[in-house]
């Protein structure tokens, strides 16, 4: 028992270093967000009590932590015999995690442009969140941060590994693979937002612009769900461009179909006697929006662990 206790404690000193690094990464992420936005975050939250911005930033911080965890996964997945020693290899791992996390923060902030330009393209999301304090827009932006974080984490996790059966892949090749699958993942998120619009009886832009929080939450939950499917599609050992892209596209198609079927199931099986579209667009029922979001995210998690 004593040996087991000591073996367990051996992981904590290094783990605490990564916990400290994670806090530093969050601080840097907040500073970066302050730099790339025209408003001051502290003023909006503390003086103007902007809950919409608070919701958006919560999604941002969750996205940052997801990226950090994805980058962290591989260095901590290897158990070494010198756990009590602060070796040069350990500090190189810490430096690698820090550098990839910074790259992830840049990509996460770039993904914010997807909300303004491609997902909610019919109005200015920043204006809706800052001036109008539109929580519907904030819910979508927060979900995009989380979904993008999942895509970035999957693209970066294990990025130092090579093609299956091939060793000594250069850092440049790994970086190019990560960027390529990040781009594919973002394309899936954008395509899914159009797919969601086409498969609903209302205009998500009109409803969210009118501060319909229910529609924003429902769309956001679906974006997180497709983000989980995309994470599954991207994550894992690279087995070659043809095979990896084919697998990615297969998962994307399955994800689109699965989430659409699940939404129908929620409508007819879980909430019989109601119409989800009416509850969201007319009654603005946030409770129903949370139920739809929870079920589609749950279905995506089942898909992730089942395949």
Chain center to CA of 179: 15
pLDDT at 162: 45
Domain hosting residue 175, numbered range: 2-306
Q: Hey, CA dihedral for 59, 64, 65, 70, is it positive or negative?
A: positive
pLDDT at 187: 92
Q: Read off the tokens for 301.
A: 């998690």
Q: Read off the tokens for 24.
A: 């530093």
pLDDT at 86: 66
Residue 40, CA distances (Å) to 26, 53, 116 in order? 17, 11, 19
pLDDT at 180: 86
pLDDT at 61: 96
For the chain of 307 residues, list the mean pLDDT of each consecutive stretch of 10.
60 80 95 91 92 96 94 56 62 86 92 80 90 94 94 74 49 77 90 93 93 95 94 78 84 91 88 88 94 94 87
Total domain count for the chain? 1
3-state SS of 73-135?
Answer: HHHHCCCCCCCCCCCHHHHHHHHHHHHHHHHHHHHHHHHHHHHHHHHCCCCCHHHHHHCCCCH
What's the rounded Cα separation, in Å, for the pair 36 and 30? 10
pLDDT at 74: 58
pLDDT at 246: 86
Q: Read off the tokens for 12.
A: 């904590």
pLDDT at 78: 42
pLDDT at 289: 95
């Amino acid at each position: 028992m004593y040996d087991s206790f000591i073996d367990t404690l051996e992981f904590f000193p290094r783990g605490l270093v990564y916990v400290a690094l994670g806090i530093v990464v969050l601080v840097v992420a907040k500073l970066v967000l302050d730099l790339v936005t025209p408003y001051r975050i502290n003023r909006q939250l503390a003086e103007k009590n902007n809950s919409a911005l608070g919701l958006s930033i919560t999604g941002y911080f969750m996205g940052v932590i997801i990226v950090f965890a994805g980058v962290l996964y591989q260095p901590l997945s290897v158990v070494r015999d010198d756990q009590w020693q602060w070796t040069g290899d350990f500090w190189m791992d810490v430096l690698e995690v820090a550098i990839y996390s910074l790259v992830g923060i840049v990509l996460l902030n770039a993904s914010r442009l997807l909300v303004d330009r491609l997902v909610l393209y019919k109005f200015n999301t920043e204006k809706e969140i800052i001036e109008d304090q539109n929580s519907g827009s904030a819910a979508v932006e927060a979900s995009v941060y989380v979904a993008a974080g999942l895509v970035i984490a999957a693209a970066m996790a294990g990025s130092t590994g090579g093609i299956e059966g091939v060793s000594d892949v250069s850092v440049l090749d790994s970086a190019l693979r990560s960027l390529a699958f990040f781009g594919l993942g973002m394309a899936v998120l954008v395509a899914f937002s159009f797919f969601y619009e086409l498969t609903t009886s209302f205009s998500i832009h009109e409803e969210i612009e009118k501060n319909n929080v229910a529609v924003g939450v429902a769309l956001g939950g679906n974006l997180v769900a497709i983000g989980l499917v995309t994470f599954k599609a991207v994550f894992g050992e690279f087995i070659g461009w043809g095979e990896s892209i084919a697998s990615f596209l297969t998962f994307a198609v399955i994800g689109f179909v699965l989430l659409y079927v699940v939404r129908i199931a929620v409508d007819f099986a879980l909430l019989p006697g109601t119409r989800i579209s009416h509850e969201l667009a007319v009654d603005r029922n946030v409770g129903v929006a949370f139920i739809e979001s929870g079920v589609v995210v749950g279905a995506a998690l089942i898909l992730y662990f089942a395949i």
